[in-house]
Structure 1
Amino acid sequence: MPEVSLALEHRPATAKETFRGRIDSIDGLRAVAVAAVMAFHYGTGLDGGFLGVDLFFVISGFVITRLLLTERARTPRPSLGSFWFRRVKRLLPAVLLVVGAVQAWMLLQDPPGLRPTVNAQTLAALTYTSNWYAVLGHVDYWDVAQEQAPLNHLWSLAVEEQFYLLWPLLLIGLTTWGTGRIRHPHRLLLAAAALCYLLAHLLYLPGAQERAYLGTDTRAGALLLGAVIAFRPGLFSRFSWPAVAVLGWLWCTADIDSAAFYAWQLPLAGITAVTLIDTAAHGERFRKTLSFRPLLWLGHRSYGLYLWHWPVWVCLGVSHPEWSQATKVSVAICVSVLLSAAGYRLIERPVRTSSWRPRVLLPVLAVCCVMLALVTATPVAGPVDAHHNGPIVTGPNAP
């Protein structure tokens, strides 16, 4: 496997971490990414902060491919079952906690108009199909008012999980049957990423951007770019300072519903993100800044913080509409950080580091999923039409 060996040998060693260990500076970038997303969702003026999701995508593509290449180098037949089980341990418990909390809020307070959408998004979240539900379901991502969809943000987790399901199979094929035939696998990945970005451009429709923005195929470009630097470390790191400037500009100005965004801004955001990650992971530039202890603390909890920040915001908006924007932002940040810290300490970390076997943990998680799915069967009124703020009427009495 010369390609895999090459990927391992070209990575410069550092004193603080090994190839298989965590890279502190990447955790620092996770903190930056979640802060950008929160700034966008909380309306604090960072118009392109939603591109923090693309930074998460690139990080995920890099980290997962790096783990798989290490496993592939260690054994010719890595256990995909073990890999997928580790992903389940890492990701699903926190999702169940957040979805369960949102459903508990629905049952206790029953905010008018929310439960139909929340129930549908709960089922999509439990099956990691939130992005395709938004694209193909009865309610598109932008057709329901944001304050009526506390699980809207889980579309990005669905994209990542679908990637985690398919990419290991493709990677093993690439490093097994492609050995000796594909001399530069990173170039193949770059071409595949370019194709994904082209597809997003071609599928974009003004005012109906759901398919281009939420599709797994249209957003996999960022994940594949992350895989590129796992195969070829240092490929982008020489352009780090221009990347910082360009990414900062995009985060301040990008418009999610503009033709320019899908034509060139989205791929440019992916390229600048992969440049920063390549530099942070394989060079010394930015390493000290991104390894700042508060950033690392936040980065370790960034997954939970991403999960909690939007439901908390929706809950505060519904429960306290009289609050000022500044008050709501301050409370939302504090509550989200506290909940993510508690979830990390009590759920995420204990489950991830536990020695529970699949035959023990998987049935427990399956029961939790079934219970949450059954809660969605509670009878409610018709779904809310965000454009008219009233129930959607179907059947013979429909207008």
Structure 2
Amino acid sequence: MSTDLPTAPARRVDVFDGIRGIAILLVVVSHGWALWPVTWISDHAVPSAIFRSGNYGVSIFFVVGAFVSTRALLRGLDSPVGLNPAVAFVRRFLRLSGQLYLLLGVVVLVSVFDLGDPFSDKVTRASVLHIGTYTWNWYLQGHSVAARSDLGHLWYLSVDLQVFVVILLLVHLLRRHRAWLVVALGALLVLCAWWRFHVSGTELLYVSLLRSTVRMDAPVAGALAAAALPYLGSLRPYARPAATVSLVALVPLLHLNVSNASYFSWWGLLLDAALVTFVVSCSLAVPPPAVTRAVGNRVLTWLGRWSLGIYLWHYPVFYFVSRHTHEWRWQARTVLAVLVCAAMVWFGHRVAERRVTTLLRSPVWEELSAGVWPYVRRRSRSMRVNRRLTDSSLMPKRRFTRS
């Protein structure tokens, strides 16, 4: 086992942000059917691969996000203060919920004042409740008709937090047995792959797209990569060529995962494998210049860093602009939707994202991770001792006389 892995330099961080930038572009254009005509897309292979690759983009988010978050959990275990599962969960919840709750507030205001909103108050309340409690994907499986369709894309956040809880529990329970953590995550990944094939082959496709246990293969693969990384130091000489090969392999896999049926076949699992190879290779060694230029450029890096806000706002904005511009040409409607989306992403960043980031950087989290309850017990014990001393000092002193 080799634990002397190189620290992540700026180029490696840029590569991870850059590939998430590619993912958010694919997700956004896959939802563009709300703005522009799509009848011509199915007749051409290249546009079809680009404009129908939302699942491909979500897999990138899952693998890279789980890899980064699991590495952070493992670093927390190795830190002097240790890992507090409750604190880790609250931090993750705040990270996802900052802009999300702002978005839900805006949706409620729009439903009240927008006379063209097609959803009833009851549907809006139920949708907001389940999105805010991260049970949205469960609710959609049985109540798709009684749900706001302009918020359907938020199923991703529900699955993300649910799988994070599973990974967090495994990391905490096996914190003293890192090798067994790798074994457990590997076994869980095999089970997820089998269950993925079973559900997608026996149940409705709509259920497969929303069920947590069917979509968790990608985040579990990312978590497995992070847990196994310290054991892969011997592969460091092969890391740079592996990063290039895996990045090149992602290009044909984009075309091979266009349809939902192919995505839930072996091609989807090969996509997970290619993404895992990419993130592991870029973590074992500094990415090659060609990889950095391809996915670590400024544009893709910027998109990756703002990807959460873009993901949250683009779909409801597309719906809103579409229903208010029926008579517009699709080009003008698209330009307006992009501008409104950019404004809302900036608004969300200024109002929520910056404050959440500042809060998460506060040193109070280290104090909480070190153990707030031992501190409370020590403080209460000290207060009891001081109280006894104070009470004893107030008692009248007994005088002793010789008999």
Root-mean-square deviation over aligned CA pairs: 2.8
Q: Secondary structure at the match of 1:23?
A: helix
How far does the alpha carbon of each residue in 1:8-56 deviate from its partner, in whole angstroms, 9 at most, with x for none? 42x2235548xxxx92321122211111101111147322233101100
Residues 59 and 277, structure 1, Cα contact 8 Å, conserved in 2:
yes
Residue number among 130, 142, 164 corresponding to 1:124 in the alignment: 130
Per the alignment, residue 175 of structure 2 pairs with: 175
Per the alignment, residue 346 of structure 1 pairs with: 351
Written as runs of structure 1 = structure 2, the 5 A alignment for 1:67-86 is 67-75=72-80, 77-86=82-91
Per the alignment, residue 101 of structure 1 pairs with: 106
Q: Secondary structure at the match of 1:63?
A: helix
Written as runs of structure 1 = structure 2, the 5 A alignment for 1:1-399 is 6=2, 8-9=3-4, 11-13=5-7, 15-16=9-10, 23-43=13-33, 45=47, 46=50, 47-75=52-80, 77-111=82-116, 113-115=118-120, 116-135=122-141, 137-139=142-144, 149-176=149-176, 178=177, 182=179, 185-205=181-201, 208-233=204-229, 237=239, 238-258=241-261, 260-283=262-285, 284-285=287-288, 286-354=291-359, 355=362
Residues 256 and 267, structure 2, Cα contact 8 Å, conserved in 1:
no
Residues 29 and 299, structure 1, Cα contact 8 Å, conserved in 2:
yes
1:333 Cα deviation after fit = 2.4
Residues 93 and 161, structure 2, Cα contact 8 Å, conserved in 1:
no
Shift in alpha-carbon separation, 1:288–1:73, aligned structure 2, 3 A: farther
Residues 48 and 255, structure 1, Cα contact 8 Å, conserved in 2:
yes
* Structure whose CA Rg is larger: 2
1:289 Cα deviation after fit = 4.0
CA distance in 2, matches of 1:162, 1:109: 33
Q: Secondary structure at the match of 1:175?
A: coil
Q: Secondary structure at the match of 2:264?
A: helix
CA distance in 2, matches of 1:321, 1:128: 33
1:303 Cα deviation after fit = 0.3
Per the alignment, residue 369 of structure 1 pairs with: none
Query: Given residue 298 of structure 1, which amino acid in structure 2 is its aligned partner?
Result: L
Shift in alpha-carbon separation, 1:67–1:194, aligned structure 2, 3 A: same
Residues 118 and 150, structure 1, Cα contact 8 Å, conserved in 2:
no
Residues 48 and 253, structure 1, Cα contact 8 Å, conserved in 2:
no
CA distance in 2, matches of 1:190, 1:329: 44
Per the alignment, residue 369 of structure 2 pairs with: none
Query: Given residue 20 of structure 2, which amino acid in structure 1 is its aligned partner?
Result: R
**Higher relative helix content:** 2
Per the alignment, residue 377 of structure 2 pairs with: none
Shift in alpha-carbon separation, 1:280–1:315, aligned structure 2, 3 A: farther
Aligned residue pairs total 337
CA distance in 1, matches of 2:9, 2:309: 29
Shift in alpha-carbon separation, 1:126–1:26, aligned structure 2, 3 A: same
Larger deviation, residues 230-239 vs 64-73: 230-239
Shift in alpha-carbon separation, 1:121–1:248, aligned structure 2, 3 A: farther
1:211 Cα deviation after fit = 2.6
Q: TM-score, normalised by structure 1?
A: 0.76
Shift in alpha-carbon separation, 1:310–1:194, aligned structure 2, 3 A: same
Q: TM-score, normalised by structure 2?
A: 0.75
Q: Secondary structure at the match of 2:150?
A: coil
How far does the alpha carbon of each residue in 1:220-276 deviate from its partner, in whole angstroms, 9 at most, with x for none? 111111112212336795543443344323334534442x33121221221222223
1:357 Cα deviation after fit = 6.7
Q: Which runs of 5+ in 1 are unaligned?
A: 359-399
Shift in alpha-carbon separation, 1:15–1:251, aligned structure 2, 3 A: closer
Query: Given residue 130 of structure 1, which amino acid in structure 2 is its aligned partner?
Result: W
Query: Given residue 278 of structure 1, which amino acid in structure 2 is its aligned partner?
Result: V
CA distance in 2, matches of 1:52, 1:324: 28
Query: Given residue 204 of structure 2, which amino acid in structure 1 is its aligned partner?
Result: A
**Percent same amino acid at aligned positions?**
26
Shift in alpha-carbon separation, 1:191–1:347, aligned structure 2, 3 A: same
CA distance in 1, matches of 2:258, 2:201: 14
Per the alignment, residue 397 of structure 1 pairs with: none
1:304 Cα deviation after fit = 0.5
CA distance in 1, matches of 2:209, 2:92: 24
Residues 130 and 139, structure 2, Cα contact 8 Å, conserved in 1:
yes
Q: Which runs of 5+ in 2 are unaligned?
A: 39-46, 366-403
